[in-house]
Amino acid sequence: MNLGKELKFTQVKTAVAAGTTDINSDIIDMANWDGVLFITSFGTITAGAVTSVLIQQDTDSAGGTMTALLGSGQAVADTDDDKCVIHDLYKPLERYVRATVDRGTQNAVINSIVAVQYRGSKTPATNDSATVVALKTLVSPAEGAA
């Protein structure tokens, strides 16, 4: 099995410098996909920072009425420097979804947010060429120069 052909990878937020403003990822269209993993990677989080990640959904592709999903909130401690939060959203009730990082009190750096869609009805998946350079598949490779 080649898992890379069954998944769609999209970087939905690039690095965000230290700050206390809330950050929304790009919106993901879940048409033809059953689930999505949001991987939110953090850098330095200043002592005393109040940080959390949640998932939102909407019927509007522009996200004009995004609403948080019950139970999706995950606190990030101010000692969680260089760690990530992973949300696995399976069968959302609305078509459009995104991750939101709530930053307050002190600075928190976001390294990136990546969305990995899975269980698509159309495979092989095509990755977002605007945010993914390549998906390199290796099957039983010999050792040697990379």
Distances (CA, A) of 123 to 28, 29, 32, 117: 17, 16, 10, 12
pLDDT of residue 1: 63
Residue 119 has pLDDT above 90, yes or no: yes
Q: What is the pTM of this model?
A: 0.91
63-89 average pLDDT score = 98
C-beta separation of 42 from 80 below 8 A: yes
Distances (CA, A) of 88 to 35, 62, 91, 106: 7, 22, 10, 27
42-62 average pLDDT score = 97
Specify the DSSP class assigned to residue 65.
Answer: T
31-52 average pLDDT score = 97
Which of the following CATH numbers is that of domain 3-120: 2.102.10.10, 3.30.70.360, 1.20.1250.20, 2.60.120.260? 2.60.120.260
